[in-house]
């Protein structure tokens, strides 16, 4: 078996595992901990937050998550739906600013049959994509190479969100607050 070394990822993988945060739902607890950078929370508003994906497909892979524990968009009230949509758009703009991708994959995994690893709390994935970003590694060795460390991704996206109008920058260690 070939080994691929990525020592810059050690800081990320050695932190407290998200599944150890709580006995309950990890998504309900992440934004409550007040350690935004440690848990990858980049931006938030009253009802929704944006967090780096703990197991990214590509640099900049984020999730937009309602603070309310719901399994489907059908369970969100109108204010929460607007909040979720607004932060998805802001995340796309921040990703465009920070990474200049050539496209995006976005979507929800709803319910156990969807194949998502956390199906009891709705979340929208946003994955930046570039032409040719799929290479031989996943095909030949079931290995995905992510070319950037999570902390560098956090810094880039934090700065890109902060450039948007209607954003209160709470500093590098805290998520930014997004208003209308």
Percentage, residues of the chain above pLDDT 70: 73
Q: Which of 49, 175, 57 lies closest to 126, judged by CA?
A: 57
Determine if the pTM surpasses 0.85. no
Percentage, residues of the chain above pLDDT 90: 37
Encode pLDDT of 108-131 as tens digits: 888 777 767 777 889 999 999 988
Weakly modelled stretches of the chain, pLDDT under 50: 18-19, 139
Q: Which of 156, 159, 155, 93 lies closest to 126, judged by CA?
A: 93
Q: Buried b vs exposed e over 98-136: b needs ≥16 C-beta within 10 Å? A: bbebeebeeeebeeeeeebeebebbbbbbbbeeeebeee
96 Cβ neighbours under 8 A, 6+ residues apart = none
Identify the pLDDT of residue 18. 47
- Selecting among 61, 84, 123, 125, the annotated active-site residue is 123
Walk me through the domains of the chain, giving residue ranges and CATH numbers.
Answer: 2-178 (3.30.428.10)
Encode pLDDT of 149-167 as tens digits: 778 888 888 888 888 877 7
Contact 59, 146 (CB under 8 A): yes
123: annotated active-site residue = yes
């Amino acid at each position: 078996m070939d080994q691929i070394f990525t020592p810059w990822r050690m800081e990320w993988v050695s932190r407290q595992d998200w599944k150890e945060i709580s006995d309950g739902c990890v998504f309900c607890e992440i934004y409550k901990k007040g350690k935004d950078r440690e848990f990858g929370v980049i931006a938030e508003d009253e009802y929704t937050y944006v967090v780096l994906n703990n197991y990214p497909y590509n640099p900049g892979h984020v999730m937009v998550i309602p603070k309310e524990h719901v399994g489907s968009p059908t369970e969100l009230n109108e204010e929460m739906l607007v909040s979720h949509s607004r932060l998805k758009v802001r995340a796309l703009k921040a990703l465009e600013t920070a990474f200049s991708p050539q496209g995006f994959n976005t979507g929800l995994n709803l319910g156990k049959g969807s194949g998502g690893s956390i199906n009891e709390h709705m979340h929208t994935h946003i994955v930046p994509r570039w032409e040719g970003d799929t290479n031989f590694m996943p095909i030949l060795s079931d290995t995905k190479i992510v070319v950037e460390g999570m902390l560098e991704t956090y810094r880039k996206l934090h700065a890109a969100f902060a450039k948007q109008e209607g954003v209160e920058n709470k500093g590098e260690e805290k998520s930014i607050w997004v208003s209308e």
